Structure 1
């Protein structure tokens, strides 16, 4: 796997992989440049999506490994995405929608129904 542009969990304060994608309320860094602000907001979005995905996995009794297999993605990458060590791709969101139901609603549900 190539090195990501940035590590989303490092936008949290502190950059604790124990909380990213697992605990709803975490603190975030304050950006001092437009690039930092953009990456912090992207990390916040990934955190929110990872929270929904991991919650849905728990509800359905899936492990990260079994979900990665269903999605056709390597376990290592899936774990890195959910803990914020790799950037989530749109395909990851699409897979979650397909396999776990509404994850990114209402945004995706609005565009799909058109």
Structure 2
């Protein structure tokens, strides 16, 4: 369970992903795994969802930068706002202010190979004994964390 100051248990799975991170401004802006905020239980599925959204947001940011474009230009050039992918909503997802939906995940995975690769290779522990991700400079159960 997550600290009630961070996410109310009554909220169910509706939460602000970046509030689970120790450094909220890192959300979507670094390839490194986020550190959980104080009293966030890494066994809570919301933490895993926040971490996945952070990694996808960062991968999208990097893919757009590699193409020499920005999120706002991409939305404008691809008429994404017509399919429910408007800039205002997408930038809130990128910053972790709102939750990513499965449709968003599918969209980015079919738009950028790097997102599809991330999803294909990233492993999330789904056991009763969760595996803590390695943070920058630390070795985890799968070795030291490296960015792609």
Match of 1:12 in 2: 21
Higher RCO structure (Cα 8 Å, ≥6 apart)? 1
Structure 2's unaligned 5+ residue stretches are: 1-12, 122-148
Name the count of aligned residue pairs. 102
Looking at structure 2, the residues matched to 24 and 99 of structure 1 have their Cα atoms a distance apart, in angstroms, of: 19
Match of 2:53 in 1: 46
Looking at structure 2, the residues matched to 20 and 99 of structure 1 have their Cα atoms a distance apart, in angstroms, of: 21
* Residue aligned with 2:117, SS: coil
Deviation readout 1:19-69 (Å, 9 max, x if unpaired): 1000223311343596xx111111001011111111101001121112234
Looking at structure 1, the residues matched to 70 and 46 of structure 2 have their Cα atoms a distance apart, in angstroms, of: 28
For the structure 1 residues 50 and 66, does the alpha-carbon distance in structure 2 shift closer, same or farther, using more than 3 Å as the test?
same
CA-atom RMSD, angstroms?
2.5
TM-score (normalised: structure 1): 0.75
Moved over 4 A (4+): 106-109
Structure 1's unaligned 5+ residue stretches are: 110-114
For the structure 1 residues 106 and 63, does the alpha-carbon distance in structure 2 shift closer, same or farther, using more than 3 Å as the test?
closer
**Mapped contact 2:27–2:96 kept (Cα < 8 A):** yes
Query: Pick from 43, 47, 60: which aligns with 2:67?
Result: 60
TM-score (normalised: structure 2): 0.59
Query: Pick from 93, 101, 104: which aligns with 1:89?
Result: 101
Rg comparison, structure with higher value:
2
Deviates more, 1:77-86 or 1:57-66: 57-66
